[in-house]
Structure 1
Amino acid sequence: MLDSRWGRAGSVTGRRAKHGTGVPLCAVMSSSELPPAGHVQVDSRPALSSTDGNQNITEVDALDIRQTLDPALQYKMNHERRGVALVFNHERFFWKLKLPDRRGTFADRSNLERSLTDLGFEVRLFDDLRAGDVEQKLTEACKDDHSNADCFVCVFLSHGKDDHIYAFDEAIQIEAITDMFKGDRCPSLAGKPKIFIIQACRGDKHDDAILVHDAIDSRDESSVNETEVDAAGIYTLPAGADFLMCYSVAQGYYSHRDTLNGSWYIQDLCETLRKHGSSLEFTELLTVVNRKVSYRRVDRCRDISAIGKKQIPCFASMLTKKLYFYPKSK
Structure 2
Amino acid sequence: PSNDYVNIIEALSETEKRQFAFLLYSVSTGLHKNSLCEFVNQPASIEVLISALRAAPVSKDTLVREILYIMKKFALLRKEMHVCKRHAGLEFRQPKVISEFWKSLAQFCNECLDEEAKKIYECLLPNQQMMSWSSEAVLLDLIERGIIQEGDVSKLRDCLQKDLEIHELRYALNAATEKNYYSMTHSPHGRAVILNHNSFIVDPENLALQLGERRGSKKDVADLEKLWRDFDFSVSVLNDLTLEDIEKVLRQVLDEASDASDAFVLVILSHGFNGGFYTHDSKKCSLERIEQILCDETEALLNKPKIICVQACQVEDFESASEQGRPPGPVNSTNKSKSAMGRADRIKFMSTIPNHVSYRDPENGSIFIQHFIKVLRKYWNECSLQDMGTIINNEVRRTPILVRDNGEELEWKDQVSEVSYALTKNLYLKMR
C-alpha contact 1:254 1:311 (8 A) present in aligned 2: yes
Letter in 2 for 1:98: Q
Counterpart of 2:292?
179
C-alpha contact 1:119 1:278 (8 A) present in aligned 2: no
Shift of 1:283: 1.0
Letter in 2 for 1:182: C
Q: Deviations over 1:165-195 (max 9, x none)?
A: 1111111111111111225x21111100011
- Picking from 181, 184, 208, the partner of 1:77 is 184
Letter in 2 for 1:177: I
Partners of 1:257 and 1:62 lie apart in 2 by 39
CA 1:63 to 1:110, structure 2 compared with 1: closer, same or farther past 3 Å?
Answer: farther
CA 1:148 to 1:302, structure 2 compared with 1: closer, same or farther past 3 Å?
Answer: same
Counterpart of 1:202?
314
CA 1:305 to 1:141, structure 2 compared with 1: closer, same or farther past 3 Å?
Answer: farther
Letter in 2 for 1:66: R
C-alpha contact 2:232 2:430 (8 A) present in aligned 1: no
SS at match of 1:253: coil
CA 1:80 to 1:115, structure 2 compared with 1: closer, same or farther past 3 Å?
Answer: closer
Q: Deviations over 1:242-284 (max 9, x none)?
A: 1111100011111000111100010011111222224321011
Partners of 2:88 and 2:404 lie apart in 1 by 36
Partners of 2:360 and 2:395 lie apart in 1 by 15
C-alpha contact 1:145 1:188 (8 A) present in aligned 2: yes
- Picking from 391, 396, 421, the partner of 1:317 is 421
Letter in 2 for 1:168: H
Counterpart of 1:277?
380
Shift of 1:72: 1.4
Counterpart of 2:278?
166
Counterpart of 2:167?
none
Q: Counterparts of 1:201-280 in structure 2 under 5 Å?
A: 201-203=313-315, 239=340, 240-280=343-383
CA 1:61 to 1:116, structure 2 compared with 1: closer, same or farther past 3 Å?
Answer: farther
Shift of 1:136: 1.3
Q: Which has the higher contact order (CA 8 A, sep 6+)?
A: 1
Counterpart of 2:393?
290
Size of the aligned set, in residue pairs, is 236
Q: Deviations over 1:148-168 (max 9, x none)?
A: 111000011001101121111
Shift of 1:302: 3.8
Q: Is the aligned partner of 1:151 residue 2:178?
A: no
Counterpart of 1:120?
232
Letter in 1 for 2:384: E
**TM-score, with length taken from structure 2:** 0.51
SS at match of 1:268: helix
- Picking from 81, 92, 104, the partner of 2:199 is 92
- Picking from 250, 273, 276, the partner of 1:138 is 250
Partners of 1:145 and 1:107 lie apart in 2 by 28
Which of 1 and 2 has greater Rg? 2
Shift of 1:67: 4.6
Partners of 1:298 and 1:79 lie apart in 2 by 40
CA 1:130 to 1:61, structure 2 compared with 1: closer, same or farther past 3 Å?
Answer: farther
Letter in 1 for 2:414: K
C-alpha contact 1:62 1:276 (8 A) present in aligned 2: no
Partners of 1:265 and 1:62 lie apart in 2 by 32
Partners of 1:62 and 1:271 lie apart in 2 by 24
Counterpart of 2:322?
none
C-alpha contact 1:156 1:199 (8 A) present in aligned 2: yes
- Picking from 66, 71, 88, the partner of 2:93 is 66
SS at match of 1:72: coil
C-alpha contact 2:403 2:413 (8 A) present in aligned 1: no
Q: Deviations over 1:100-132 (max 9, x none)?
A: 111110000001001111000111001111111
Q: Using the TM superposition, name which of 161-170 and 91-100 deviates more.
A: 91-100
CA 1:75 to 1:308, structure 2 compared with 1: closer, same or farther past 3 Å?
Answer: same
Partners of 2:400 and 2:413 lie apart in 1 by 5
Letter in 2 for 1:276: Y
C-alpha contact 1:298 1:306 (8 A) present in aligned 2: no
SS at match of 1:252: coil
Partners of 2:181 and 2:241 lie apart in 1 by 36
Partners of 1:120 and 1:62 lie apart in 2 by 24
C-alpha contact 1:279 1:325 (8 A) present in aligned 2: no
